Structure formats: C-alpha cells, structure tokens
Amino acid sequence: MKKEKQTQTIFKILKYIKRYWGFLGISILLSAVTVVCSLYLPLLTGDALDLIIEKGQVDFTGVFDILKKMGVMVVLTAFAQWIMNVCNNKITYNVIRDVRKEAFAKLERLPLKYLDAHAHGEVVSRLITDVDQFADGLLMGFTQFFSGILTIFGTLFFMFAISGRITIAVVVLTPLSLVVASFIAKKTFSMFKLQSETRGEQTSFIEEMVGNQKVVQAFSREDETLKKFDEINDRLEKCSLKAIFFSSITNPSTRFVNSLVYATVAVIGAFLAISGGISIGNLSALLAYANQYTKPFNEISGVVTELQNALACARRVFELMEEEPEIPDAIDAVVLEQTDGQVDLENVAFSYVPEQRLMEGLNLKVKPGQRIAIVGPTGCGKTTLINLLMRFYDVKEGSIKVNDIDIRNMTRKSLRNNYGMVLQETWLRSGTIRDNIVMGKPDATDEEVIAAAKASHAHSFIKRLPEGYDTIVAEDGGNLSQGQKQLLCITRVMLCLPPMLILDEATSSIDTRTEVKIQEAFARMMKGRTSFIVAHRLSTIREADVILVMKDGNIIEQGSHNELLLQNGFYAKLYNSQFALV
C-alpha cells in the first residue's frame, strides 16, 4: 500500500515536470555530453601512459596532442555542466512555483470545515516547509540522478571495450550495492514521513503560542506550554535522528561494496597486465573507470534517501491539494444582483458532526428591512446561524432562501456581496489603513473613504496616525488597539453599505461613549436594510424588530423586547440577570 502511494506521488510529480520537457530534454542531453567527456578522459590518460615506453623514451609529441584533447574535454564538460545546472534549477523552481501556487489556490477553495478541523500552523508547514524540502530533493535528483545512471552504463561500455572479463566481474558485484540502497530507502521513507508530520505539529504549536502569548502569560501557562513544546521537540528529535541515521549509513555501506569492486578490478587487471593481456595504460584506465563506476552508486544512494524525504513531503502537499473542494456553484446558479432583504429559513437542520445534531426544524421569516437580534447562551447556535446565512456551511436539510431563491442555487460571491459583516474577531491585512477600508470596494474615492470613517467615528484616530490613511498596518493590525481595529472593520462595512448586515458583537471592544455614537450610526445604516444582530449585552438590542432567543440550536422564543419580557420566559430571565445588581 505504501509502495503504491509512493508510486502515485512520483507520477504526480512527473505530471508537473512534463510541463518543462524542453528544459528536461536539454538537461538529459547535456548530462550525456558531460558523462561521455568525463569517461573519455581516463582513456586519454591511459593512452598517454602507453606513450611512456621507458626512461628516456617518451613520445612527447603524442603526449602533447593528448593533453590538448584533454583540455578540450575539460572545458566542454565544465560548460555542459553549467548549462545543465541552469536547466535543472529552472525545472525545479518552476515545478515548486506551480505546486505552491496550485496548493494555495486549492486552500482558497477548501470549505471552512477543513480549516476548522486542521491547525493553521500545520497547513502553513505543508505549504512552506514541506515544499522547500521537496524542492531540495528534486534539485538533487535532477543534478545527480540522470548523470549517475548515464555514468554507470557509459563506464560499463568503455570497460567492456578494454576487457570483457573484468567488466563481467564488476557487473556480478553490482547487485550488492543495489540491495543495500533498496533496503535503506524503504526504511528512510517512513522515517522522513514521520519527521514531516511531527515538524508540522511543532510549527502549528509554535504559531498558536506566539499568536496567543498574552493569554499564555495572563494565565501563567508558560511552564505547561514549555513542557508541551519539549515533548513535541523530543519526538521530532527522535524521528529526525532515526531518519538521518538510516540515510547516513547509505554512503558507508555502498562505499564498502564499491571498494570490493575496485579491489576486484585491481587484482584481475594486475594479473592480466603481467600476462600481457592488457597494457599498463589500459589498467590505469580500468582503475579510473572502476572508481567512476562506483561513484554514482554513492551519489544515487544519497539522492535516493534525499528523494525519500522529498516524496514524503510531496505526499503531504498533494494530500492537501486532493482534499474535497468546496462544492462549486451550479452552472445555472443565479447571480443575486440586488435583494430587498427578504430571508426565509424553512425546516433547517444542520450539524458539524453527523452523530451530533445541532439544529433541527429551524423556521424563520425575515421581512425586508427588519432588524433581527439573536440572543442565547454560549454554544446555542448563534454563530452557526450566521455561517449558514453566509453559506460558509450548507444546510443538511431544509432550505434558506433570499428573495424566494434557495441560496444553494445562487453564486456564493453574489450572495456574500449582498451582506456586510462585522464580527467580534477583527481581521486586518498588512497594508495601509486605506487598503483595509476599501477591501469590499476597491474603486472607492478618498471622499467616500473619509465619509465612511467619519460615520464610524474612526476618522479622528486615523488623523492622529503618523501618515493618516496611508499609515502602514502591521499583520493583523498589530500596531493598533483592539478597539481601533474594530472601528476599521465597521468603516469597511459603512463604505459598502450592502442591503443586508450581520453584526456579531460588533462593538464589544469599543468604549461606552464611542459605542453610543456607533449605535446611532448603525441605526442610520440599518434603516431600510435587513440586519442580523448577535449580542450578549441585551441592552443593545431593545430596538430590534424581532428578537430570536436560541437554545440548543432551536428558536425557543421570538418577538419584540417588550413582548418577550411580558412572556416572562427564558429571555426575561436572561435580561433580568444582566441587571440584577443594578
């Protein structure tokens, strides 16, 4: 099974290499030129030795002619190797660029359930570290594999031309080297695969801890975190040592076999030379060929172990690329140009895990322009409902309709273009303040951007920044406060003003005074727009047209604020509990 998967991985790599067959053809051709020139040199050396008859009897003219030929061979070999390396680099880094590009594109198409189920650091490790390891193995393979194979066959050809008996003895001993390399290769693949997986786990842990260092320190979890890191690091050390150990014994093992080959050629050749079967020059050439013949086995065995690592890493990348993508939009999917904001949920059922139901038989009719507040205890399904409305997840049963059209029958892009979303979790990318504001409307004018910032009360703090709207924001807004980041996210929605809004604790990180002003801006923005408001502070949703009270994935109460208080049910208890100490 492992061998079958390894073969499949090789074929997948070959499909990418096939795109650059021109460079591959040139590389193989120049590799052949390099090998032929290299193998011709020992023959010339042997001929030169045969021109030295005895002391005082040397054919200097012949030797000089041979030296000129050797010079040409050396220059030609060097030039061919240079061009071959250029071609190999072109193939390798073009393939790596294509793999990484397609892997990232696939990541963009994967459903959210994949990203929710896999640690972000582990995914990053596949795209960065594993692809780099794959590149190193592929480059070494191209540089040494083809020339090694050609050298082996070329050497046998030249040796056979000199002495068939010695060549047969060499061929008989060759399988020993192949058996040793094959045994080690099988061991190293599983070790390198485990090493890659553990490295991904470590990257994921480091990424998580660095991103949440304040929380770690606030709860004094430094020692526990260090213990966990040490445990992962120790496992990585052990599997890395095993992988390196098996890969490192390849060279000594094959060198031992190669020494046997060299000794065999020397002994048999010496007896032949004494009996006059071959000349001293030919013996010298045979010894050089024996050395050149065995050298590729060392290189190839080293390449094989490196390729095992590369294949293990490539397999992890291909596993990501072969994950089930998000279900594509239907060919006849409707493009939702503009909606009046009518939303209907009919018998909606959904669960993240099949055996654990979350929502069942959820029904809701939202009229155009209504403000719908969603409240309830943690884990009741508020965020899940938002995910379903935006079609980050598809319902298992029932339907969600916008303007009487099932959202599964419309394009995701057009559906999401009709929503404006402000979440409790803010997200900003590296770039200027303006870049982060115009994300949903790239063609916005400076006047529109400033107007939106003033409406969200972000303009005042932006003006105080060193470069104003051109101030560079660090990754995830690291140089801004949480409240400032949230104001920028609100500004982003203020600029687009889509027909439907989702506000999930949109003012949770903002001071009370600014919140009052933003609530007024929200009230103006929500006028005539269908709005879904997720809130824990019930005082912020008194003016909602309909309040949905959720529990265990179901709507257990709905109505206006006053209606729900008169019912004296679950909502009344939640509301009164927040003001019990007032």
Q: Which whole-number Å values give the CA distances from 575 to 462, 540, 542, 562, 567, in the listed order?
A: 36, 11, 10, 11, 12
Q: Do 151 and 15 share a domain, yes or no?
A: yes
Q: Do 435 and 286 share a domain, yes or no?
A: no
Helix 131-162 with 60-109: angle, nearest 10 deg: 150
Q: Is the pLDDT of residue 2 over 60?
A: no
* Residue 231 domain flag: no
| Residue 334 confidence (pLDDT) | 87
* 304-317: average pLDDT: 76
pLDDT tier for residue 41 given thresholds of 50, 70 and 90: confident
* 126-152: average pLDDT: 76
Of 469, 497, 525, at which residue does a domain stop?
A: 497
Question: What pLDDT, in 10s, does the model give residues 349-360?
Answer: 888 877 777 778
* Residue 531 domain flag: no
Contacts of 340 (CB under 8 A, 6+ apart): 368, 369, 403, 499
Q: Is the pLDDT of residue 167 over 70?
A: yes
Q: What average pLDDT does the chain have? A: 80
Q: Do 301 and 444 share a domain, yes or no?
A: no
Of 474, 497, 520, at which residue does a domain stop?
A: 497
Residue 438 sits in a domain of what CATH number? 3.40.50.300
Paired tokens of 485: 């980041």
| Residue 138 confidence (pLDDT) | 73
| Residue 581 confidence (pLDDT) | 45
* 362-389: average pLDDT: 84
What percent of the chain has a predicted confidence (pLDDT) above 70? 88
Structural domain containing residue 169: 2-198+242-321
Q: Do 251 and 123 share a domain, yes or no?
A: yes
Helix (H, G, I), strand (E, B) or coil at 350: strand
Q: Do 156 and 291 share a domain, yes or no?
A: yes
Pairing mode, strands 530-534 and 546-551: unpaired
Q: Is the pLDDT of residue 477 over 70?
A: no
Q: Is the pLDDT of residue 440 over 70?
A: yes
Q: Which whole-number Å values give the CA distances from 498 to 316, 358, 493, in the listed order?
A: 41, 30, 8
* Residue 138 domain flag: yes
Give whichever of 61-70, 353-362, 471-480 has the largest mean pLDDT. 61-70
| E strand or H helix at 152 | helix 131-162
Q: Do 314 and 452 share a domain, yes or no?
A: no
Q: For residue 380, how many C-alpha atoms fall within 13 Å in the half-sphere facing its CB?
A: 17
Residue 13 sits in a domain of what CATH number? 1.20.1560.10
Q: Number of structural domains, the chain? A: 2
| Residue 58 confidence (pLDDT) | 65
Q: Is the pLDDT of residue 537 over 50?
A: yes
Give whichever of 169-178, 247-256, 324-333, 442-451 has the largest mean pLDDT. 442-451
* Residue 522 domain flag: no
Q: Please provide the DSSP assignment of 47-102 as one string.
A: HHHHTEEETTEE-HHHHHHHHHHHHHHHHHHHHHHHHHHHHHHHHHHHHHHHHHHH
pLDDT tier for residue 66 given thresholds of 50, 70 and 90: confident
pLDDT tier for residue 394 given thresholds of 50, 70 and 90: confident
Q: Do 284 and 426 share a domain, yes or no?
A: no
Q: Is the pLDDT of residue 168 over 60?
A: yes
Q: Taking Cα atoms as reference points, which of 192, 189, 210, 190 lies closest to residue 124?
A: 210
Question: What pLDDT, in 10s, does the model give residues 217-228?
Answer: 877 888 888 898
pLDDT tier for residue 385 given thresholds of 50, 70 and 90: confident
* Residue 462 domain flag: yes
Q: Is this model's pTM higher than 0.75 or not? A: no
State phi, psi for 159 to the nearest 5 degrees: -65, -40
* Residue 388 domain flag: no
| Residue 348 confidence (pLDDT) | 86
Q: Do 142 and 19 share a domain, yes or no?
A: yes
Q: Is the pLDDT of residue 580 over 60?
A: no
pLDDT tier for residue 578 given thresholds of 50, 70 and 90: low
Question: What pLDDT, in 10s, does the model give residues 103-120?
Answer: 888 888 887 777 777 777
* 388-401: average pLDDT: 88
Q: Do 177 and 301 share a domain, yes or no?
A: yes
* 109-137: average pLDDT: 78
pLDDT tier for residue 299 given thresholds of 50, 70 and 90: low
| Residue 296 confidence (pLDDT) | 73
Q: Is the pLDDT of residue 509 over 70?
A: no
* Residue 349 domain flag: no
* Residue 550 domain flag: no
Paired tokens of 567: 């019912």
| Residue 582 confidence (pLDDT) | 44
Give the torsion through C-alpha atoms of 514, 475, 101, 391, to 10 deg: -20
* 409-420: average pLDDT: 87
Of 439, 467, 497, at which residue does a domain stop?
A: 497
* 276-302: average pLDDT: 73
Q: Is the pLDDT of residue 63 over 80?
A: no
Q: Do 255 and 115 share a domain, yes or no?
A: yes
| Residue 246 confidence (pLDDT) | 74
